[in-house]
Structure 1
Amino acid sequence: MSRNTLEEIGSLLILVWVMLMSMVSPTLWGTQSGSPDQTKVVEEAWGILNREYLDPTFNHHDWDLVRREALTRKYVTRAETDAAIEAMLRPLDDPLTRHITAEELASTFDEITGKSGGIGVTDPWLIQDQNSGRFRILHLVAGSPACEGGVLPGDIIADINGKPAAGLRHDEFLMALRGQSQTSVSLRLLRDNKPVDLTLTRKPLSLDTARA
């Protein structure tokens, strides 16, 4: 297995770790009384990356300085916390390590647990190039419409229902792919710089595994 593959897997594991911590850690989402401690959210997000990130140089940035700058103020709202974590991640310049908001996480779990229709292209197996704004697929949900309908890992999604996908926010992109079960979505993919047009029918998904 190549070093690039190992780094890719490691970054995905960090992303899943952050997602799980956001669901179960009491210090992340509230005190024992249920009152959220948003400053603690920022501090623990920094700590997760400090412990788990593969690049010990943090993209040649002073990670302790990043912490000090992030904790110079108190955070009250979830929006302030989300913005602080996004700012903390920006120096890493790593599309595989990103912050998922509570709303995005809930939407993703609705899709992969079958509560809403999807095609099997979802977090955390999707990255957006920070320069071009394009979305590239890393893995597919096994047995999903995308997996069975001709989408391949490595494909870039250029258009969704005839509209350019590049430049969409991550949540906007995912919402364009999701919808009611048995409705269709048209994709234009780029594969080896050649266009591939597909129409897929959304369905409830079961997250058995992901296919590389």
Structure 2
Amino acid sequence: MRKRAFWVTILVICSLLLNCFVGNPIVSAFTQDQKLLLQSWRLVNQAYIDNSFNNQDWWSLRQQFLQRHLHDREETYDTIDEMLATLDEPFTRLLRPGQYHNLQVSTAGELSGVGLQININPETGNLEVVAPLTGSPAESAGIKARDRILKIDGVDTTTLTLDEAAAKMRGSNGTQVSLTIEPYQAGKVIRKVNIIRANISLSPVFADIDSQNQSIPIGYIRLNQFSANAAQDVADAVANLEQQGTKAYILDLRNNPGGLLQVGIEVARLWLDDGTIVHTVNRQGIRDSFSAFGSALTKAPLAVLVNKGTASASEILAGALQDNGRGILVGEKTFGKGLIQSLFELPDGAGLAVTVAKYETPNHKDIHKLGIVPDEVVSQDPINYREIGTDVDLQYQAAIKLLTSNIAMAHAS
């Protein structure tokens, strides 16, 4: 009996050892590509906002993808893309080393390329222009908001992700890229444009005094992106305009795709004495809030211009100003991106953007896929940067009218 028990014990031990070294990838020696896949899986597992992972067994997916033979790094990237695609959420995505570097450069405030803000239209799936950057090669080439980009250097853009399209348009100063453009306006002819890339300063702020109202100086501030220097640039612009005797402000957030969350909060604090700026909710349902404190830089009346290209951190700022009664929103319903991503750097220089929370406006409005409706709805066809603030800029003119009439009423009372 003891002898039989001994042999049973030996068989059990052998079976366990066999499972450990042959059938169990958990303790096997991983290749560098498998380690990269594993780290991407872990980051999502630890931080992703939906702990059901789109109602699927995330652990089983790990085992499934680890069993693949990854022959090179590009195949590994493709596998990570495939794994993330099962979440069915476009903002959690892999950024290859070049893409991750370009994103870091963009948020730092400068890059080399054509100077286009782009997005994929959620309804059509087409790659579209949000806006050309002021003074950029793309603006000089006559590319306008809502134009569709059909090809980049002959590559059909329907085969590219948003990041891949952006990466193909960026490049060294002085090099050329070819874009095939379908104009937004009906009746315009599809054209091929050869553009020479240039170093582009991403100073996100343009400021000036409105020249149309001599009796009531109105300061105009356009904020293009929430890059690292945005809050300081807005503060400097307000200080300069205050010295010029500005009595009211227009803050233009049209076609601002967002950027750094913390910078959006800092810009909101420039306009608010106190009050909640934004609520965030993580995967455990735990709420956090960010508030204003101290003194606003100015208490002058404020109108905020928004449109369909106003997204992410721009919507956080617009929602904070609207819900706190600090500014009146003018224009069109905003984009509706109410999710927050954290960026993680992978060992090989790639990056992983993971949706870690959603946000709500101070009044607890969830705007994801819904957007923010302005106080004063004013629709208009796309205009180029040279037309901003002119008679054809209906949203700007509506803001001017609201501010001047409110100031006149305040003086009368």
TM-score, normalised to structure 2, is 0.32
- Residue 144 of structure 1: how far off its partner (Å): 5.0
- The equivalent position to 2:32 in structure 1, one of 31, 37, 56, is 37
Q: Which residue of structure 2 lines up, in the alignment, with residue 168 of structure 1?
A: 159
CA distance in 1, matches of 2:85, 2:101: 23
Quick check: 57-66 or 137-146, which moved more?
A: 137-146
More helix by share: 1
More strand by share: 2
- Do 1:117 and 1:203's aligned partners in 2 also have CA atoms closer than 8 Å? yes
RMSD value over aligned CA atoms?
4.4
| Bigger Rg, structure 1 or 2 | 2
CA distance in 2, matches of 1:193, 1:60: 43
Deviations 1:63-111 (A, max 9, x none): 2221221223564631232122012112122222222222443566678
- Do 2:116 and 2:133's aligned partners in 1 also have CA atoms closer than 8 Å? yes
Q: Which residue of structure 2 lines up, in the alignment, with residue 159 of structure 1?
A: 150
Higher RCO (C-alpha 8 Å, min separation 6)? 1
**Secondary structure, aligned partner of 2:158:** coil
- The equivalent position to 2:54 in structure 1, one of 51, 59, 65, is 59
1:55 and 1:176, CA in 2 relative to 1: closer, same or farther beyond 3 A? same
CA distance in 2, matches of 1:76, 1:184: 32
CA distance in 1, matches of 2:46, 2:188: 41
1:85 and 2:76 equivalent?
A: no
- Taking only the aligned residue pairs, the percentage that are identical comes to 24
1:84 and 1:187, CA in 2 relative to 1: closer, same or farther beyond 3 A? closer
1:135 and 2:127 equivalent?
A: yes
CA distance in 1, matches of 2:176, 2:70: 41
Mind listing any 5+ residue stretches in structure 2 that lack a counterpart?
1-30, 205-224, 226-255, 258-413
CA distance in 2, matches of 1:61, 1:193: 44
- Residue 193 of structure 1: how far off its partner (Å): 8.5
Amino acid of the structure 2 residue aligned with 1:173: A
* Superposition pairs of residues 73-152 of structure 1, within 5 angstroms: 73=68, 75=70, 77-106=72-101, 113-114=110-111, 116-121=112-117, 126-127=119-120, 133-136=125-128, 144=136, 151-152=144-145
Amino acid of the structure 2 residue aligned with 1:38: D
CA distance in 2, matches of 1:73, 1:137: 38
Aligned residues, how many? 170
1:53 and 1:128, CA in 2 relative to 1: closer, same or farther beyond 3 A? farther
- Residue 138 of structure 1: how far off its partner (Å): 6.5
- Do 2:147 and 2:183's aligned partners in 1 also have CA atoms closer than 8 Å? yes
1:194 and 1:68, CA in 2 relative to 1: closer, same or farther beyond 3 A? farther
1:53 and 1:191, CA in 2 relative to 1: closer, same or farther beyond 3 A? farther
CA distance in 1, matches of 2:33, 2:154: 37
CA distance in 2, matches of 1:49, 1:39: 16
- Residue 128 of structure 1: how far off its partner (Å): 7.3
**Secondary structure, aligned partner of 2:166:** helix
Q: Which residue of structure 2 lines up, in the alignment, with residue 28 of structure 1?
A: none
TM-score, normalised to structure 1, is 0.54
Q: Which residue of structure 2 lines up, in the alignment, with residue 188 of structure 1?
A: 181
Amino acid of the structure 2 residue aligned with 1:93: D
Q: Which residue of structure 2 lines up, in the alignment, with residue 47 of structure 1?
A: 42
